[in-house]
Amino acid sequence: MLDHSNTDNTVYDIRQPAYWDKDSLYQEMDRVYDICIGCRLCFNLCPSFPSLFDSVDNAGTRKREIAEQEGRVGKEEEKDTYLDLPEGEHASESSIEVEFRGEVTDLTEDERWEVVDLCYQCKLCDPVCPYTPGKEHEFQLDFPKLMTRAQAIRTKERGVKVNDRFLSNTDLTGKLGSIFGPIINLVNRISIARWFLDKLIGISSRRDLPKFQINTFEKWFKSRELSGHDFSEKVVIFGTCFTNAHDVDLGKAAVEILEHNGIECIYPKQQCCGAPYLSPGDFDGFEKQARPNVDEFYKWVSDGYKIIVTGPPTCSMTLKKEYPDYLGLDEKIQLISENTYDISEYLVYLNKQDKLKKDFKEEIGTVNYHVSCHLKAQQMGFKGRDILRLVPDTKVNLINRCSGMDGGWGMKSEFFDESMKVAERCVNDMNQKESDIACSDCSLASHQLNQASKGEVKPSHPVIELHKAYGLNTD
């Protein structure tokens, strides 16, 4: 009988030797899996939990089949006469069937690790789970961190996979895209080229890849004409690798809205936040990627600047939560964490201080607003929805379902089908409500939903729509 309250193996400090002990990992897996099997609140959140529940249930079925083959029991039949059984026979039959209940110890090695592989770190289980450290429960259950620990131990044994290495190197691919963007975009549409990319690197040939922009967000920022506003606040822009290379219009809109509201914007030296390195648990790569950002941004926040993240919410979450968890909470990281804002979050912050202008010139209408998982994980509320509502006569429908992309996970050949299954459910939810436009704070989720809907759903960012409502020039 597993002791659910025994947290001796609940180790999530990567500097502790026990973190890297595989026996300790397996004991913690068994404990957490067993708690999850008994609860099942997360049955519809991501592919990991159905995989776990089905595997345990199937293990029970296997036990019964073996018992039938050995002649210890007859074939199971559906019965509708239980109420007519003599006293005591209900319990007798139930006691026999208990033998065929699946247990976490019945899981095969493949079934155990399939749960890990299907976790794409959406972190939606954390707010749903009643047993987390944040809810001060004695079980101290942290499923996402357990999955990262498992990935890290396996990666330490076998090395980083080719597709993870490729997907982590976003700065290099972004630089190549800024030079050869049109050629790369063309090659990405050629079937034979995508077949080779699939076979050699493991990026699905069926995945629509984001287009590269030659005029990156960084180039635009440095070449633009400075506005003549008197600035009341000052921020540094963390553009993120995705905004810089692919979603340049979002970066432009964010800066122009901020400057329209009297906010000084600085674009310091920066690189990818390092989040792609956490997927395989490559902490050495993560620290190497993150440390230059820590050193650079610390200088600015020490001088009173706030960090505004204009790209996918994964990046703001990484600076706020993953840097403290995996780099250590020193003075630099704590200051960065406390002063990092998602762009929508910061605009709501300005509005609460009566520093956000309401001089809107255009209407937005009815919006189907997709709730980003990694904004929910930051427990900040629905800030994208809140800024949309600032525009008069705007109605916002919440679409509270994961898109199933999670950056690199949805790009990989082995997970493409699972990724699209999740996305199709989200598209179905969006199609249930009439709207003028669709929005999402996550550019990658928007990309995913566009492909899953075959182009029928094309979410834009709330900041893009706010920019239009202001009537600001994007040229």
Q: Partners of 203 in the beta sheet? A: 412
CA end-to-end distance (rounded Å), the chain = 66
What average pLDDT score do residues 330-358 get?
Answer: 96
Pairing of strands 437-440, 366-370: parallel
Mean pLDDT computed over 44-54: 90
At residue 90, does pLDDT exceed 50?
Answer: no
Report how far apart, in Å, the C-alpha atoms of 116 and of each of 24, 29, 37, 59, 110 are: 16, 10, 15, 18, 10
- Asked whether residue 151 carries a pLDDT value surpassing 90, the answer given is yes
Contact assessment for residue 282 and residue 164, using Cβ atoms and an 8 Å cutoff: yes
Q: Give me 464's structure tokens.
A: 């893009």
Provide the CA 277 distance to its chain's centre, in angstroms. Answer: 13
The answer to whether 409 and 366 have CB atoms below 8 angstroms apart is no
Q: Looking at residue 96, what is its pLDDT?
A: 54
461 contacts: CB under 8 Å, gap ≥ 6: 247, 250, 253, 384, 439, 440, 441, 443, 446
More confident residue, 73 or 189: 189
CA distances from 50 to 31, 234, 265, 385, 418 (A): 17, 47, 45, 30, 12
Tell me the per-residue pLDDT of 265-309, one tens digit each, with 9 for 90 and over.
999 999 999 999 999 999 999 999 999 999 999 999 999 999 999
Compute the C-alpha angle 30/35/41, nearest 5°: 135
- Beta strand pairing call for 263-266 and 233-238: parallel
Residue 369, φ and ψ in degrees, nearest 5: -100, 110
- Domain residues of the chain, as ranges? 17-158, 163-201, 217-352, 366-470
What percentage of the chain has pLDDT greater than the value 90? 79
Q: Which of 85-94, 174-183, 255-264, 288-297 has the lowest mean pLDDT?
A: 85-94
397-452 pLDDT tens trace: 999 999 999 888 999 999 999 999 999 999 999 999 999 999 999 999 999 999 99
Are 373 and 440 in contact by the 8 Å Cβ rule? The answer is no
Q: Report the share of the chain in percent with pLDDT over 70.
A: 91
Phi, psi of 253 (to 5 degrees): -60, -40
**What's the whole-model pTM score?**
0.89
Query: Which numeric CATH code is attached to 217-352?
Result: 1.20.1050
Residue whose C-alpha is closest to residue 20's, from 120, 121, 150: 150
- d(Cα 232, Cα 259) in Å, to the nearest integer? 10
CA dist 204 and 445 (Å) reads 17
Reference 447, options 204, 182, 207, 124; nearest CA is: 207
Q: Is the pLDDT of residue 100 over 80?
A: no
Strand partners, 440: 370
Is pLDDT above 90 for 70? no
Residue 475 has pLDDT above 80, yes or no: no
pLDDT, one tens digit per residue, over 221-252 is: 999 877 666 788 899 999 999 999 999 999 99
A 10 A CB-CB count for 362 gives 12
Q: What is the topology classification, in CATH, of domain 366-470?
A: Rossmann fold (3.40.50)
- Closest C-alpha to 399, from 358, 362, 368: 368
Q: How far apart are CA 260 and CA 468, in angstroms?
A: 13
